[in-house]
Structure 1
Amino acid sequence: MRFIQLRERNTLRNQIFISFTLTIILVLTFAGAFIYGEVSVLLKNSAEKHIQQTAIQANGRLDALLKQVDSLTTQIAVDAYVQKLLSREAEGSRSNFNERQSLLQIANNYMAYSSGISSLELYTIDNKRLFPLDDSSLNRISGDALAAADEKKGRLAWIGIDPRSPDTVLAVRRINLLDHAYSPGGYVVVRVNRDYFNMFASDSADRSEARESMLLSDSEGNPILSDMNDETAQAVAAQTGSTVTVGGQRMLAVRQHSDVTDWKLVMLLPVEAATEGISVLRTAIYVSIGIAALAFLLLTLLLSTMITRPIQQLMRSMRSARFGGLKPLPATRNPLRTMEINELNHTYNRMVTHMNELIQVVYEKEITQSRTELKALQAQINPHFLFNTLEAFYWSLEEKEESELARTILAMSGLFRYVIGSAEAHEEWVTVRDEVEHTRRYLQIMKMRLIDRLHYEIDAEEELLHVPIPKLILQPLVENAILHGVESRIGPGSVTVRIRSSLPGLVMISVSDDGAGMDAETLARLVQSLDAAAPQASKKGAGVAMFNVQRRLKLHYPAVSGPSGGLHIESKPGAGTTVSFEITMTSKGEALL
């Protein structure tokens, strides 16, 4: 009883109502969550864009400051007096006190252009310091700094915080001697005050109101400049991702990379500051979802009733139909039904009519196919009767010692068996050897008819006999050569078949005769007839065979034949005719061998 009640409740109307209700609840829930998430992301992205713009501007200022120092050290490295002094040092001539004293004026001139440089030092390649005027060596700088300068090959290497002076940033440039094939001549060492890289001195108040923080660190993550303490700055530099945690507070992080020094600039903004006002959006989304769900429930109930009632009427009408006795529905139109329901009734009636017609057609085709198969089986008796009769003639002639005539009968049997079997699908492709043997049997029979008027030669390379080739594509050309070449002569004539490898992967097959040949006009008409849409038979009926060979070559070898390929005919009056074509050594017929 309970199963029957559940079955009665499992109606299309209830399914539509429940499915649509669940769907709209899910859609509205996901839509609300999506909108809430998108707006949150939008607010977050807006804040990120703001601090990203600030970071880009700060990074631009940083690059400008770095390029200023880079330009200054470049001018020092290429200064004529510095180059002269280092060249002499490289040649073994040590600089005296006065020469080194002259470097003071040069250094002061260059340092006047930059207020951030705290010290400027010049060293030779063998660790001797030329400026300032003391005996300190380059060993006071770490080997990693020198290796970084050497790796830059004359470009400025930014090392980071100077271990000997934490308030300065260290940079080293190797000086290459221009007059000595740019060989290393020394080093210029620059120490820059950390405050020199403060890009926010003018707008620090605005950043404080926006609760933004900034961190500038070197490639190793060591802080160079920050408005946080060193421990917190190192923790921020070690974190990745779009958000970081600083003292238990989640903050948006925007990073900029300096191409000049490989330093990283990180701008931070609290997540709460970027997502203010989302609670109002959340309440608006909840109210919108509730109103939309209630309205959709009412519309779903009305729509499900309008859809299912006409369908139930159609189902009651279709229950009367039985397989083998399909009947169309009465052509009645209810004005209350929708256009789709009326079209459904009309489509059902057309389907019933077509099914009845198809049943009749299939029945008739089955009968026709049975009759055709029976006739085909009966037709197979005739070729077998012909082969058996020729075999009987052959053995009878052998008993009478008529060997030549027996070989002719045997050749006829092989020729008929080869030709009649060509209609079978699996024999569409043969080897060149098979085609040559068939052609040889045909020439043997024609030799029997023409006696001394026919001489023939078949010259085929042994390694090409295994190549696949369409069946009955060579013998029609030989037949055409005998018909139009040998028989047109008064005296004896000859036919030559040659099979050679013309190019790698290609086989050239040619059939030549020594007949009367053709003039240019006749040859042009023949070539035009081969490319025509339909065959044009000559008086002796050879045009159809040539046309058939041409079409098959273009079908099976389109890449070789080309738009104007296929058969190639050469002929001159009194010089005979040669018909040739090319095939590939591999084709789809190879799988059948």
Structure 2
Amino acid sequence: MARRFRSIHSRLFFLFLTCMTTILIIVSFLYYSRSLDIIHSKISDIAQKNISQTAGLFDLMLEGYNSVTKSLNGNYELTRLLQETTNNPAVSVINERTITNIIGATFFSRKEIVGIHIITNAGKVYSYERQFGGVIDINYEQKEWYLKLKASSGNMVWLGFYPSSPVNRMQQDTVFVFGRQLYDLTAYKSIGMMIIETNPAPITEALSNVSISPNTRAFITGKDDHIIAKGEQEGEFPVLNNLPKPSNGHKIIVDDESDQLIVAAKTSLADWTIYGITPKSDLNAEINQTRLYLAIVIIALIIVSTVLASLVSRTIASPLKLLIREMKKVELGNFSGSVNVNSFDEINSLVSSFNRMVHRMDELIERITLSSVSEKNAQLQALQSQVNPHFLYNTLDMIYWMLDEKENERLSRVILSLSQMFRYSSNWGEASQTTLGQELEQIRHYLTIIEIRLDGRLETEINVSEEWLDVILPKVTIQPIIENAVKYGLEPLGTPCKLQVFAEQHGHELHISITDHGLGMDEETLRQVRESLGMNANVAIESIDQPRRGIGLHNVHARINMMFGEAYGIRVESHRGQGTTVTVVIPIPLQRRHADEYSHRR
């Protein structure tokens, strides 16, 4: 047991779990204490903001209603017609219709208005309602609303909620009522009063903004402490005389000293006080829910911490165990295995380095095996057997015609170049290595024959610095590329054409590029060529015995892979109608790299 506890898995598990649990308990305690303060503060702030917004909303609403009454009172035509008396029935009918039209225009100015009534001092009543044919209460002069309007001196009178219309006895829906006396502004005398009834829904909806819990009671009181309007919440209302009242200097107050949270705000336009009363039990219920939620979260986090501690310890320990097991296999000479893990970056880097080391060792062993003299000679002989005899046939045909035409000078050049090519291509001793300088010398003999064959239509340019002439590369690397360029890119043109060979250094690589300004390849052909180059070297060797036209790019690419590794080979770029560039990528010798770096430092 003690030995098991000393393992990295067990120690990491207990260390991670202890740290996580301790931090979790401390953070949870601080969070809970702070949460209580924040909840109380936030609830007070929310209640204060809600009632402030509600008071502002009521001020806007009442200002709109006040504007409606002002527009009627300021209508000169209306006040004139209300005072006009006539004995002509026709004129009387026209006047009444005009008054009704003026009232109707105001009625439709706001969608929440359900009725407008004007009662003149002479006792005449003009109404515009959604429900016509109402019966006017003949005892309206004794009603409270009438007395309040009569006692006012032109100011707005907010009468509050009524279960039915105070004027039209046939209107039984709840309405919010307000009004004012009508004055002749010229003579400044009272000519009657207006009563406007509106849908109470906007006021009820505005009061709902005060609620911060389902049991919040919201209502509006007037200056005489009577309830003007109340929300839809059910419940017993407190004694109004005991409620705190905002002063003119403090229009919003918050009282949470009792078992209730009381917020109150005063409206600017009307002498109203908006109240919102929330039981503390509702607020404590939220705190209790927070406490329960926090307890559940703590338990869940402890479980998660346990799982994470186990996962983290396993994530670190398991790759190390796999790495140790694989290293023991390598000690026994097994280089074929590899470790596949997905852990921390450091461990992943260590495992990746180990896999690369083992893979490199295995690759080197395999390359040494493949590079034995017998295998290389067999492979090179197979590659040599693929040399396309058509070139020899064409050359012999050309010699025949040149003999026929007695062109001795050109014939001697062709025969000399052909002799050098046979000597170079038949010497396959010591595998197939050569230098870039020897390869270029061979290419010059080959181009001599091609230029004569094309009757001067081919212009060649070879631009390779002398510092690269001793670089090692496989024999017969460039000739197959030039042969393809001439055969498929330049010769079909039938016009003077150009071929360029140049070498450039790119980092630790030497790029030998062969560029023809010929027909080029379309995208599909280029894709097929690149896919063929993507085949591995073993496939190239297995396909040697198959009949092919020329040595081909694939075999050149395969031989470079065999000599230098899969990072090197042939790259092809081509555009239809613009030409093709084939680049041979080989490594720069290590001693040459060190010399270049030393010269740069100096």
Structure having the higher Rg: 2
TM bin (shorter chain): 0.3 to 0.5
TM-score where L is the length of structure 2: 0.34
TM-score where L is the length of structure 1: 0.34
